[in-house]
């Protein structure tokens, strides 16, 4: 277990600002509504054009500034169809090792006791994760997604809202699975592939491939 999570209240910062990053901030607030566990210190983001949202703490610096904040732990909330292949590089650029990342699991998510989840993963409200699922580092699973039994979700991958991954699916690192898409059982999605929103994947997806439609092509 991450040593940062053992303390009574953990100071946490989010890599990225806006979009999914606010979803993660709201998940932290939901966790704290049950029991005060985290103190959100702020965000790190490379853009100079971010409109400040007064509901949330400030932007503390650029991504590579994060390593200088020794008293913080972190969660990476960066992830979209434009940036999903860059997540691993962003983590490396931050200079933060995996032991300083925590996993954020919304209290309205359902996670099987036999599932395993590595550091840096985000699981938002309404997600259902089945028995013996293995989830890697820095995975983002958005609202109302379902991951079936014995599936493997590789590091840095992103599962968009409402996606359904059936049993015994293997998702390799840095894959994007679009909103409300469906992956049939026993399929493999190779690294850097993208499954479009609403697609139904009936065959394996090769490395760097983009597939969409029903059935996905």
Cβ neighbour number for residue 77 with a 10 Å cutoff: 24
Q: Give the three-state DSSP class for 33.
A: helix
Q: Does 154 map to a domain?
A: no
Spatial contact of 99 and 117, defined as CB atoms under 8 Å apart? no
Q: Report yes or no on 16 lying in a domain.
A: yes
Distance CA 27, CA 146 (A): 18
Q: Residue 73 and residue 136: Cα distance in Å, rounded?
A: 18
Enclosing H/E stretch for 114: none
Number of domains the chain contains: 1
CATH number for 65: 3.40.50.20
Note the residue count of the chain.
217
Q: What is the pLDDT of residue 83?
A: 86
> Does residue 165 lie within any of the structural domains?
no
In a domain, 188, yes or no: no
Neighbours of 131 (CB within 10 A): 12
Range of the domain at 82: 3-100
The verdict on residue 152 lying in a domain is: no
DSSP three-state, residue 64: helix
- Find, among 162, 165, 15, the residue nearest to 154 by Cα: 165
At which residue do the structure tokens 């210190």 appear? 41
In a domain, 148, yes or no: no
* Residue 180: closest CA among 203, 194, 164: 164
Q: Which residue(s) pair with 76 in the sheet?
A: 15
Residue 52 lies in a domain: yes
pLDDT value for 49: 64
| The residue to which tokens 């277990």 are assigned | 1
For residues 109 and 96, give the distance between their C-alpha atoms in angstroms, rounded to a whole number. Answer: 27
| CA 75 distance to own-chain centroid | 9
CA contacts within 13 A on the Cβ side of 195? 37
Answer yes or no: is 15 within a domain.
Answer: yes
- Per-residue pLDDT 10s for the chain (217 aa) are 344 444 578 999 999 998 899 999 999 999 999 888 999 999 999 987 677 788 899 999 999 999 999 999 999 998 888 888 999 998 999 999 999 999 999 999 999 999 999 999 999 999 999 999 999 999 999 999 999 999 999 999 999 999 999 999 999 999 999 999 999 999 999 999 999 999 999 999 999 999 999 999 9
Start-to-end CA span in the chain (Å): 41
The token pair that represents 153 in the structure block: 């979700």
| DSSP secondary structure letter of residue 166 | -
Residue 163 tokens, joined: 């996606």
């Amino acid at each position: 277990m991450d040593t940062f999570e053992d303390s009574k209240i953990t100071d946490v910062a989010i890599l990225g600002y806006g979009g999914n990053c606010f979803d993660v901030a709201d998940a932290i607030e939901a966790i704290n509504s049950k029991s005060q566990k985290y103190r959100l210190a702020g965000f790190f983001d490379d853009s100079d054009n971010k409109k400040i949202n007064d509901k949330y703490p400030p932007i503390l610096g650029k991504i590579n500034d994060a390593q200088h904040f020794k008293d913080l732990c972190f969660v990476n909330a960066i992830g979209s169809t434009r940036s999903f292949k860059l997540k691993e590089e962003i983590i490396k650029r931050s200079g933060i090792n995996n032991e300083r990342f925590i996993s954020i699991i919304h209290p309205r998510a359902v996670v099987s006791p036999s599932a395993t989840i590595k550091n840096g993963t985000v699981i938002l409200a309404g997600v259902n994760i089945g028995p013996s699922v293995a989830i890697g580092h820095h995975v983002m699973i958005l609202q109302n997604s379902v991951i079936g039994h014995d599936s493997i979700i590789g590091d840095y991958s992103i599962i968009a809202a409402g996606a359904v991954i059936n049993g015994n699916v293997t998702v390799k690192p840095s894959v994007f699975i679009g909103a409300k898409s469906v992956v049939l059982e026993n399929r493999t999605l190779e690294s850097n592939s993208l499954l479009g929103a609403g697609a139904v994947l009936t065959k394996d997806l090769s490395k760097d491939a983009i597939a969409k439609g029903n059935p996905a092509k």
